[in-house]
Amino acid sequence: MSRRRELSDEEHALWSGFVRSIKPLRTLRESNKVLPVVEKPAARPVKAANPRLDTVPPEKPRPLATLDRRLKQRVARGREPIDARIDLHGMTQSEAHGRLLGFLQRAQADGARIVLVVTGKGESRQRGELAVERGVLKRQVPNWLGLPEFRSFVLAFEHAHVGHGGEGALYVRLRRSR
């Protein structure tokens, strides 16, 4: 037989953060059930050990689309032109971020539709039994393209064809300038 105990304030804050992050499978209207809300009585304010527990995580923006399969084929075969290219090899993350943002702004203003962003494949090294993957820009650029500051330029992106750099490059489809 198990005994129930009262949660500490820290445990309650952790549990509340977990509960807020859960999305229901059905809405209340669909199930026609009213779920009881369990609240802990107000206690003395306690400084949480982890300040992130007290904040509600921001809503994640919808992921960007991938290129249409036929458009990607046309670009890979050279039937659809790549309007502009940028090579980010050898840059730091902050340099690459700034240059990429400026490049996409200029390309969109010039009316470019498809651009090629070369990040490089990076190196993988074996360190003992663990494979350590490098290639910071290869991992970061797709994340950057989903950020709000890039959303006004980027419509979709996908890894390039082997002839254009494969996993070390991205085809980026730009939005039309307004």
Domains of the chain, residue spans: 9-54, 69-174
pLDDT tens readout for residues 50-61: 555 555 555 555
**pLDDT number for residue 129:** 64
**Closest by alpha carbon to 114, among 159, 173, 63?**
173
**Residue carrying structure tokens 């820009």:** 137
* % of the chain residues with pLDDT over 90: 17
pLDDT tens readout for residues 97-115: 999 999 999 999 999 999 9
Cα(96)–Cα(94) distance, rounded to whole angstroms? 5
**Residue carrying structure tokens 């129930």:** 4
Class of domain 69-174: alpha beta
Cα(166)–Cα(12) distance, rounded to whole angstroms? 48
- DSSP letter at 84 equals E
Q: Which of 48-52, 84-88, 93-97, 98-102 has the lowest mean pLDDT?
A: 48-52
Other C-beta atoms within 10 Å of 159: how many?
A: 19
